[in-house]
Chains A and B, each alone.
Chain A
Amino acid sequence: MKKNIIFILIFTIFASTLYAQSIARVAFVDGWVDVRTAAGVVDEALIGDDLSAGSSIITGRDGYAELLERPSGSTFRVSPNTVFAIREREVNGRNESVLAVAVGEVAFKVNRVAGSGTLVATNSTVAGVRGTEFVVFSGSDGTTLIAVAEGLVEVEAYGRSVELYADEAVEVRPGSPPGPKIQLLGRALDFSQWNESRRQEFLNDPVAALRAVDRRLDYYNEKIQELQPQFLEMTERVLQMWAELDRIYLEQGQDAATQYDRTVLGPASINAVHIGLNVRYYALSALSMRRFVVGNMYAEMKSRYITRLNDPVFIEFRNLYNEVLRKFEEITISRINATDI
């Protein structure tokens, strides 16, 4: 309940458009940069490419990309070893664009007309932004670091929010509310150094780190389990309305059917679809976390312990990993398609 109130607060402060009308175009590319399309096809990113439905930018170790969002003129600078996606979701009947940093570093310069806003999502938090310059670091252990250069960013997780002004930063661990504010005092943050510190912390206690990520995945699974039955129930009712539409058509003609569609079927069908889209949003967020955080953790552990797979630390980690994957297969996968992989 508290979380919902926070979302509403963030939304009323920052978002007022019925739908975002924005385009992200690749304005600059250097090194290895790929675009992953909605169909799951990975292709080289070229200047002038527009991110089509459901696509994302993936940069290699020497890759760098700049995206220009229109008509706002916002720019996103995507650093090497980063996965960055532009999506949208619906909250309380309104659409919000969501810029998702699955892993890596993206610098944002957001220009928004007064009264509209956008959200930035990572594996551990959602941040509402308005007319501001800031950097998002999404660590390989699921931790997020947001540092603001200019403007205001409100960072929310687990019912608590923190407002960041210029020269302030906050770290958010997965499965936890935002940490205390960090005063940057003019310091520039080095993502690879920060990520390395996160990695070391992960290696010191990999089970605890994976448990924190598991908590966040549980949140996504809870939302899926809450909304999916609602979607199915609404779909069933809407299909009955479609049958009623055709009955009216056969008995009373097209005009009567059109009236029924306009007043009953149409709104209900669109409402049902939006619930389904929200389920997909949580499923795709869970997939992102599972792929880029859990996957990275497993790869790190398995490759490190490959000659001592009987080590108790690895065994405990692997058992928890198997449980995470079991829940993912059982709950999340039902709302994932092959094109998402």
Chain B
Amino acid sequence: MRKTVLFLISVWIIIGLLSCTTYSQRKSSSNKIVDLVNAQNSAVLSEITSLPFLFDREIIVLERDRNMIWQNISNAGFSFEGIISTESIPVSSGDYLFFGNTFEVRTWFEKYLPQRASLVKINTRNGLYYMILGSRTKVRINLPGGRGSFPTIHGFTGPVQEAR
């Protein structure tokens, strides 16, 4: 009986620790993406962005266009300046409004939103941005700054007005 109780307590502690790890992983996942954007690392950003990619109200299906977006954003010198807060929560059904209230955006959320995706809200001095992140992916090719695994990027929009 004692052994069983000790066993159950140990399991409970382990699960608790793992949950903490998952939460901190999720938190550090969005930080990893912020770091990539701020480092203007378009190569890795392209590599970890899945298709179809939701960019504002546009559904991007071609690799060429996805790569062009990140290349242009990097070339423009964009960064998440003066981050006020970063928040990561599970995506909910009404979150399409942050991207746009159109039939296509609503359809993307219904058809292409992966399970267990998270909505990352990045509040900065130059505006409020949202990203949809999914499960981790290892970068397939050797890219500078690309070591390790990163969350998959499924969507990006901003700067937005709060509560569209």
Contact = CB atoms under 8 A, between A and B. Distances in A.
A–B in direct contact per CB < 8 Å? yes
Contact of B60 (A60, A83, A299, A309): A299
B91 to A, nearest CB: 18
Contacts of A341: 59, 103-104, 107-108, 111
B103 A83 contact: no
B111 A299 contact: no
Contact of A336 (B65, B67, B70, B103): B103
Interface residues of A, number: 31
B95 interface: no
Interface residues of B, number: 31
Nearest to A62: B63
Question: Interface of chain B, helix or strand or loop or mixed?
Answer: helix
Given A32-B63, A103-B62, A341-B111, A300 B77 contact: no
Contact of B72 (A32, A60, A295, A303): A303
Interface string A281-315: 00000000001100110111011111111000000
A78 to B, nearest CB: 13
B69 A303 contact: yes
Contacts of A336: 103
B63 A302 contact: no
Nearest to B75: A304
Contacts of B69: 299, 303
Given A40-B111, A81-B64, A341-B111, A333 B72 contact: no
> Could you say which of A83, A305, A341 has the most chain B C-beta atoms within 10 Å of its C-beta?
A341
Given A329-B102, A329-B103, A305 B60 contact: no
Interface string A326-341: 0001000100101001
Contacts of A60: 62-63
Interface in B60-87: 60-65, 67-73, 75-78
B68 A300 contact: yes
A98 B63 CA distance: 26
A101 to B, nearest CB: 13
B81 to A, nearest CB: 10
A296 B60 CA distance: 8
Contacts of A298: 56-58
Contacts of A302: 55-56
A127 B129 CA distance: 44
- What 10 pairs between A and B have smallest CB-CB spacing? A303-B72, A341-B107, A81-B64, A295-B58, A303-B69, A61-B63, A60-B63, A333-B103, A338-B107, A307-B76
Interface of A: 32, 40, 42, 58, 60-61, 80-81, 83, 103, 291-292, 295-296, 298-300, 302-309, 325, 329, 333, 336, 338, 341
